[in-house]
Structure 1
Amino acid sequence: MSNDRKPVLVINGPNLNLLGKREPGIYGAATLADMEDLCRKKAADVGLEVEFFQSNHEGAIVDRIHVAREESSAIVINGGALGHYSIALHDALRASELPIMEVHISNGTKRESFRHHSYVTVTAIGLVKGMGIFGYGVALEYLATHQL
């Protein structure tokens, strides 16, 4: 990565701090730290840098997206439950004017009906779901190959 290229911001929303502990049958045994390690390795392989942000609070995530508008080259986001109902998250992502990749660890379309819709998807250039934490690496590779 050249020094003038901004990092990709990887955002994880509510409850993703519990990866590896919460419903491992759905979300797997990998932790948030495991996901971050995977992203660092993939980013290095494809010539990107990454930064990470996790919060259980909608406003904190919206505020971080506002900062990303100036400090990041793209966003990879797993909004958790916020993706299913947060118009504020949608509006912040749209206002960022950055390439957005949406990631879901599980395949929500095979789960409860409220998980079938995402306000993030309409802001995103791509969607990766159901691949566990490996989906984050796919999102980074796509951004490196097609967008940045």
Structure 2
Amino acid sequence: MKKIIIINGPNLNLLGSREPDVYGSLTLVEFLDAIKSKYPKLEIDHFQSNIEGELISKIQEMGFSYDGIILNAAAYTHTSVGIGDAVRAIKTPVVEVHISNTFAREDFRHQSFIAPHTKGVIVGFGLQSYELAIQSFLNDEI
């Protein structure tokens, strides 16, 4: 069974109530339950933190034993050299995801310190961005 972890950064714990026109109306729990039931042959774990160091520690912890990491570092994407370095240091492939189209937002959101070290980046497809990332790991088997 493939093991995938979704690691979410700051403010993503507010899904469902935070700017639903941008981030949708599903809560994080509702979304995770739906994804897990849709992919019963995958072990899908989740971690969310608003604290940069906790995200780095989780990437390091999971980065040698999981088959894939789906990382939405949120605002840290554009500011954290440390998270980028953590992704570069691990063996597990990482897909960077964003719910909103970061290129349609403020200019500072066009830069990612994580993307150069990832398998790929998926932006702007709402919560479906996570599912597209899952599909990318499943397609590795083909």
Q: What stretches of structure 2 of length at least 5 have no aligned partner?
A: none
Cα shift readout 1:31-67 (whole Å, capped 9, x = no counterpart): 11122123313432xx321110000000001011111
1:115 maps onto 2:109 in alignment: yes
CA distance in 2, matches of 1:97, 1:56: 24
Q: 2:121 aligns with which of 127, 133, 139?
A: 127
Cα shift readout 1:60-109 (whole Å, capped 9, x = no counterpart): 01011111123312100100000111000000111112111111000010
1:29 maps onto 2:41 in alignment: no
Look up the match of 2:95: 101
Q: Which amino acid aligns with 1:91?
A: D
Q: Which amino acid aligns with 1:92?
A: A
Conserved in 2, the CA contact under 8 Å of 1:43 and 1:141? no
Aligned length: 142
Q: Which amino acid aligns with 1:130?
A: G
Q: Which amino acid aligns with 1:102?
A: E
Distance 1:38 1:122, change over 3 A: farther
Q: TM-score, normalised by structure 1?
A: 0.89
CA distance in 2, matches of 1:147, 1:99: 14
2:74 is paired with a residue whose SS is coil
Q: Which amino acid aligns with 1:18?
A: L
CA distance in 1, matches of 2:124, 2:105: 11
Cα shift readout 1:92-142 (whole Å, capped 9, x = no counterpart): 111112111111000010111111111111111111111111111110011
Q: TM-score, normalised by structure 2?
A: 0.92
CA distance in 2, matches of 1:96, 1:34: 30
Greater per-residue helix proportion:
1
Q: CA RMSD in A?
A: 1.6
Look up the match of 1:20: 16
Conserved in 1, the CA contact under 8 Å of 2:7 and 2:48? yes
Question: What fraction of aligned residue pairs are identical, expressed as a percent?
Answer: 39
Deviating above 3 A after TM superposition, structure 1's stretches of 4 or more consecutive aligned residues are none
